[in-house]
Amino acid sequence: MNKKALLIIIVGLIVGVGIILFSGKKVNENKETISSVSNISNVEVKDGIQYITIDVKGGYLPRISSAKSGIPTKLIMKTSGTYDCSASLVIRSIGYHKILPNRGEEIIDIGIPQVDKPILGVCGMGMYNFLINFK
């Protein structure tokens, strides 16, 4: 085996080990982030109307929400310097598709949700999503 081939093999092994080590760390960090996000309380009832607040920037937080069914519900999409594809919001079940402002709040009336009929929102590219379950 010549020196060039040996060098290529060594570099390949180093790169492979680096990918394994660093990608494993990111997966663990993402699991911690997702589990801590599920503890966020983003649902509030005021004057008989349920408000569900979702932060929009580099995705949607929290990604999964639980809310009550059978009461008028509004979704508050909060943006703060949002310039990525999460600003292009699609909620097919209610026929909603709009580019959100890069700063501020967009209030979306989702009507009176029914039990076990979740709302799924996705970005225009399909990279980011959120889910609201109704009980």
- Looking at the structure, tell me whether residues 71 and 114 fall in a common domain: yes
- Looking at the structure, tell me whether residues 30 and 74 fall in a common domain: no
Pairing status of strand 73-80 against strand 103-111: antiparallel
Provide the pLDDT for residue 16: 63
Mean pLDDT of the chain, nearest integer = 85
Provide the pLDDT for residue 24: 47
Structure tokens at 72: 């008028």
- Looking at the structure, tell me whether residues 22 and 48 fall in a common domain: no
Provide the pLDDT for residue 18: 62
Cross-strand bridge partners of residue 43 = 52
Indicate the pLDDT class of residue 63, thresholds 50, 70 and 90: very high
Domain range spanning residue 126?
Answer: 43-134
**Total structural domains in the chain?**
2
- Looking at the structure, tell me whether residues 33 and 50 fall in a common domain: no
Which residues 6+ apart lie within 8 Å of 49 measured at CB? 71, 72, 73, 74
Distance CA 26, CA 111 (A): 38
- Looking at the structure, tell me whether residues 24 and 53 fall in a common domain: no
CATH code of residue 84: 2.60.40.420
3-state secondary structure of 41: coil
Provide the pLDDT for residue 28: 36
The rounded radius of gyration (Å) of the Cα atoms in the chain is 21
- Looking at the structure, tell me whether residues 75 and 123 fall in a common domain: yes
Indicate the pLDDT class of residue 19, thresholds 50, 70 and 90: low
Provide the pLDDT for residue 115: 95
- Looking at the structure, tell me whether residues 69 and 32 fall in a common domain: no
- Looking at the structure, tell me whether residues 66 and 87 fall in a common domain: yes
Q: What percent of the chain has pLDDT over 90?
A: 69
3-state secondary structure of 95: coil
Structure tokens at 105: 């709040």
- Looking at the structure, tell me whether residues 100 and 123 fall in a common domain: yes
- Looking at the structure, tell me whether residues 76 and 126 fall in a common domain: yes
Indicate the pLDDT class of residue 85, thresholds 50, 70 and 90: very high
- Looking at the structure, tell me whether residues 12 and 30 fall in a common domain: yes
Provide the pLDDT for residue 40: 64
Provide the pLDDT for residue 13: 72
- Looking at the structure, tell me whether residues 124 and 65 fall in a common domain: yes
Provide the pLDDT for residue 22: 61
- Residues 36-56: pLDDT tens digits? 344 468 999 999 999 999 999
